[in-house]
Amino acid sequence: MENFLALEITNLSKEFKTKQNTIHALKNISLNVNKGEIFGLLGPNGAGKSTFINILAGTVIKSSGSVKVWNFDLDKNPREVRSSIGIVPQETNLDPFFTPRKLLEIQAGMYGIKESERITDKILEITMLQDKADSYARSLSGGMKRRLLVAKALVHRPPILILDEPTAGVDVDLRQQLLENIQQLNKQGVTIILTTHYLQEAQQLCDRIAIINHGQLIALDKTENLLNNILTKKIIFKLKVPKNIGEKLKSGLTINYPKPELISVTYNKNENKIEEIISEVKEKNIEILDILTEDADLEDVFLKLTKKNA
Ligand code: ADP
């Protein structure tokens, strides 16, 4: 494969000028996405995620900076940029009176793809819609409608697929299935960029994650590294009989009581030794039934970073 990046963003900025003021939706964002990656774009509401995606999609014009998609410059080759990405929107506004096959054929027509070059059946297969290919869209379940949106975005065979909140409003079972579909597509070589509110989902799916807040890039790393950077951990003791052992341990760590029979202590894994915490708690003369530890998750990383940059 030729050696270039899937996405190369340099000093990208966007200001929206309204009558009252100027909103800096993106401030000097620079980031790269590698070919074959699943890349997550996270941030609280209003962070600038949609603006970023809309610039790639060509529906918002950037104020400054450079955008390269599959080695095509957005300013010089907007058409090639557009054909390099497939965008899966959030809303499921499908025409209920067409079948999946018909919708894909119409979409292919809009992209000017000749009938002989269409891969409708292949797309129906990889989005697991073969069985419903000839049913009306209105009879599809929520999960199938989502998959049909993915199918539509794949019609012109883009090497990059961008999913905007792919599982928003999808129930838990379907969410898992949808995530597996995304992983499957990635295995077949599609580079995936997704925005999500569900940190758990990003943690499960993404190779690397960028976190933006107030239009600024505040973190960009491998998912694993982001999680390792959070040093706090939690240890929870389950007691046979509920007991209050005070507010602090000898070492100064705060004791919490999430339930009467539970004692929890949050500690820093660089500063505190878990054995010492356990022996300090044992000194309190209590009968311990169980000890659990909890790792930090992306939620902790996110809270820490967005608080710092508030
Ligand atoms: P996110 O997708 O992360 O929720 P957005 O990209 O939608 O964030 O918004 C980023 C900021 O830009 C917000 O302050 C939003 O109000 C502002 N914004 C987005 N689109 C427009 C627009 N068309 N006109 C004015 N302000 C906008």
Query: Which distant-in-sequence residues (6+ apart) come within 8 Å of 182 by Cβ?
Result: 38, 163, 166, 192, 194, 205
Per-residue model confidence (pLDDT) at position 137:
84
What is the value of pTM for the model shown? 0.80
CA–CA separation, 154 and 127 (whole Å): 10
Nearest CA to ligand 1 atom 24: 16
Per-residue model confidence (pLDDT) at position 238:
96
Q: How many helices, marked H, and strands, marked E, lie in the chain?
A: 10, 14
CA–CA separation, 308 and 46 (whole Å): 17
Question: Check: CATH 1.20.210.10 for 7-227?
Answer: no
> How far away, in angstroms, is 60 Cα from ligand 1 center?
11
Per-residue model confidence (pLDDT) at position 242:
93
Atom of ligand 1 nearest to the CA of 60: 23
Per-residue model confidence (pLDDT) at position 310:
56
Ligand 1 pocket, CB under 6 A: 16, 18, 23, 25, 43, 45-51
Which tokens hold the place of 269? 């894994």
CA–CA separation, 56 and 33 (whole Å): 13
Nearest CA to ligand 1 atom 5: 48
- Whether 7-227 and 230-308 share one fold: the answer is no
Per-residue model confidence (pLDDT) at position 295:
73
Which tokens hold the place of 235? 């240890």
What is the pairing mode between strands 232-239 and 262-268? antiparallel
Handedness of CA 88, 196, 50, 220 (dihedral sign): negative
Which residue spans within 203-282 are E strands per DSSP? 208-213, 216-222, 232-239, 255-259, 262-268
Per-residue model confidence (pLDDT) at position 309:
57
> How far away, in angstroms, is 293 Cα from ligand 1 center?
39
Which class does domain 230-308 fall in?
alpha beta
Nearest CA to ligand 1 atom 17: 25
Nearest CA to ligand 1 atom 10: 48
Going from N- to C-terminal start, the domains of the chain cover 7-227, 230-308
> How far away, in angstroms, is 167 Cα from ligand 1 center?
21
The one-letter amino acid at 153:
A
DSSP class of residue 272 equals -
Nearest CA to ligand 1 atom 21: 16
Query: Which distant-in-sequence residues (6+ apart) come within 8 Å of 25 by Cβ?
Result: 14, 15, 16, 48, 51, 215
- Inter-residue contact 118 to 161 (CB < 8 Å): no
Atom of ligand 1 nearest to the CA of 48: 6
Note down pLDDT in tens along the chain; length 310 residues: 568 999 999 999 999 999 999 999 999 999 999 999 999 999 888 899 999 999 999 999 999 999 999 999 999 999 999 999 999 988 767 888 899 999 999 999 998 899 988 999 999 998 889 999 999 888 888 888 888 999 999 999 999 999 988 877 777 777 888 888 899 999 999 999 999 877 778 888 999 999 999 999 999 999 888 877 766 788 999 999 999 999 999 888 989 998 999 999 988 878 889 999 999 999 888 899 999 988 766 666 777 777 765 5
Nearest CA to ligand 1 atom 16: 46
